[in-house]
């Protein structure tokens, strides 16, 4: 039997909003930090599709294997692929899966196997398409499906609630592995590639960091980025990321200020790397600073001891002692979010 939905079939998207919507027509779920994935099965064939419509199958052979082991011979599931870690899930381990050789993927899959968190059922085990059904009915079918077929620790159904109080508690627990809250309209069908029936609410996270060094802008004598650090329990300053979101008019005065503070070593723990295949010798060069300046920055994700992306500079904190800028600030946000499953 041929699936009524064939890849590429783009998943339903979410609109970013500031506040959790309220009302009887909303279902709330944790927003998982991983790779969005549609899983297609027809007989012995299993295909994993990314958010953009590309195949993920070769990168996650263990997910393909445990989906093929299900007694259901036909289905389409919508969910998130994640890799468990000590404090939740590790996005870095996910990124390592992309583009390496098959032998490397096999090794990584054995060392850090992925899980699949499912939050929607688009085609059931009989081959019936459910995309035109409202979410309220699809969720009931997913719960029946998972109870009957999900028998292993690698496959979960995502928690869901209609209580906004529970959604707010999840939002307060946002940290490593849990990226916020998703709100979905119960009365709407599955809307491929649309954002009208789903909203996402992410936590605004800020942290105070020591400026342990800086890099010059490419082909300029002005500062291009500030190198950020946090202190560990032993008093060592570790490089955790960078910020470059300050105005060009301000850069000249900032450069002069930073030059007066140049003094090695800058970072006494983990230091920034040098040139790489993505950087030139000039862009890899950095200048160490005395640990005098504290900057408050906004960030999206902190994992594996660093900011995953660049941060947004908010303001200087002359009132903050550099030694107060410790990893405790980000540890407060860490949760073993897999306990929700």
Spatial distance between the Cα atoms of 31 and 10, rounded to a whole number of angstroms: 18
Q: Enumerate the active-site residues.
A: 31
Question: What CA–CA distances, in Å, run from 116 to 34, 84, 154, 311?
Answer: 10, 10, 6, 29
Q: Per residue, what are the HEC states of the chain?
A: CCCCCCCCCCCCCCEECCCCCCCCCEEEEEEECCEEEEEEEECCEEEEECCCCCECHHHCHHHHHHHHCCCCCEEEEEEEEECEECCEECHHHHHHCCCCCHHHHHHHHHHCCCEEEEEEEEECCCCCECCCCCHHHHHHHHHHHHHHHCCCCCEEECCCECCHHHHHHHHHCCECCEEEEEEEECCCCCCCCCCCCEEEECCCEEEEEEEEEEEECCCCCCEEEEEEEEECCCCCEEEEEEECCCCHHHHHHHHHHHHCCECCCCCCCCCCCCCCCCCCHHHHCCEEECCCCEEEEEECCEECCEECCCEEEEEECCCCCHHHCECHHHHCCCCCHHHHC
The dihedrals phi and psi of 283, each to the nearest 5 degrees, come to -70, -20
The dihedrals phi and psi of 256, each to the nearest 5 degrees, come to -60, -40
Instruction: Identify the residue whose tokens are 């939002």.
Output: 171
Q: Which two tokens stand for residue 53?
A: 């419509």
Spatial distance between the Cα atoms of 294 and 102, rounded to a whole number of angstroms: 44
């Amino acid at each position: 039997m041929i699936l009524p939905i064939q890849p590429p079939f783009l998943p339903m998207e979410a609109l970013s909003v500031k506040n959790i919507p309220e009302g009887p027509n909303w279902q709330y779920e944790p927003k998982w930090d991983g790779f969005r994935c549609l899983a297609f099965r027809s007989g012995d064939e299993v295909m994993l599709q990314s958010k953009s419509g590309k195949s993920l199958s070769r990168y996650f052979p263990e997910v393909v294997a445990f989906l093929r082991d299900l007694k259901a011979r036909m289905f389409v599931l919508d969910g998130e692929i994640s890799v468990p870690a000590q404090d939740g899930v590790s996005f870095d381990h996910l990124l390592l899966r992309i583009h390496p050789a098959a032998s490397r993927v096999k090794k990584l899959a054995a060392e850090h196997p992925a899980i699949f968190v499912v939050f929607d059922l688009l085609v059931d085990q009989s081959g019936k398409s459910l995309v035109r059904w409202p979410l309220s009915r699809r969720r009931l079918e997913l719960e029946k499906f998972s109870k009957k077929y999900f028998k292993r620790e690698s496959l979960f159904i995502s928690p869901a609630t209609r209580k906004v109080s529970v959604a707010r508690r999840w939002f307060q627990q946002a940290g490593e592995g849990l990226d916020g809250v998703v709100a979905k309209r119960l009365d709407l069908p599955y809307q491929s590639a649309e954002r009208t029936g789903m909203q996402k609410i992410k936590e605004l996270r800020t942290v105070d960091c020591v400026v342990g060094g800086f890099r010059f802008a490419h082909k300029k004598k002005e500062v291009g980025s500030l190198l950020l650090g946090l202190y560990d329990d032993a008093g060592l300053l570790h490089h955790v990321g960078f910020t470059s979101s300050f105005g060009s008019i301000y850069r000249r005065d900032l450069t002069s200020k930073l030059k007066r503070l140049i003094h090695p070593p800058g970072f006494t723990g983990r230091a920034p790397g040098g040139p790489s295949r993505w950087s030139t010798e000039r862009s890899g060069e950095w200048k160490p600073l005395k640990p005098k300046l504290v900057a408050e920055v906004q960030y999206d994700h902190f994992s594996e001891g660093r900011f995953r992306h660049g941060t947004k500079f908010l303001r200087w904190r002359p009132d903050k002692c550099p030694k107060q800028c410790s990893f405790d600030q980000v540890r407060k946000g860490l949760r073993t979010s897999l306990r929700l499953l």
